[in-house]
Amino acid sequence: MHYPPPLFRDRTEAGEKLGQGLLAVELQDPVVLAIPAGGVPVGAEIARILGAPLNLIIARKIQFPWTTEAGFGAVVSDGTVYLGPHSKTLPREAVEAQTQKALGEVEHRKQEFLEDRQEIDISDKDAILVDDGLATGSTMIAAVTALKKRAPRRVIVAVPTASGTAVNLLRPRVDQLISLYVHPEHMPFAVASSYHQWHDLTDQEVKEYLGEL
pLDDT of residue 181: 94
Give the mean pLDDT of the chain.
91
CB 190 within 8 A of CB 4: no
Beta strands 59-63 and 126-130: pairing type? unpaired
Over residues 131-151, the mean pLDDT reads: 95
Q: Which CATH number fits domain 11-56+122-211: 3.30.1130.10, 3.40.50.11030, 3.40.109.10, 3.40.50.2020?
A: 3.40.50.2020
| Alpha-carbon span 43 to 15, nearest angstrom | 6
Statement: residue 2 has pLDDT above 60: no
pTM beyond 0.85: the answer is yes
Statement: residue 1 has pLDDT above 60: no
CB 65 within 8 A of CB 55: no
pLDDT in tens, 83-107: 988 888 889 999 999 999 999 999 9
pLDDT of residue 58: 94
Statement: residue 67 has pLDDT above 90: no
Q: Coil, strand, or helix at residue 128?
A: strand
| Alpha-carbon span 38 to 29, nearest angstrom | 24
Domain ranges of the chain: 11-56+122-211
pLDDT of residue 212: 67
Phi, psi of 38 (to 5 degrees): -60, -25
pLDDT bracket for residue 4 (50, 70, 90): low
pLDDT of residue 83: 93
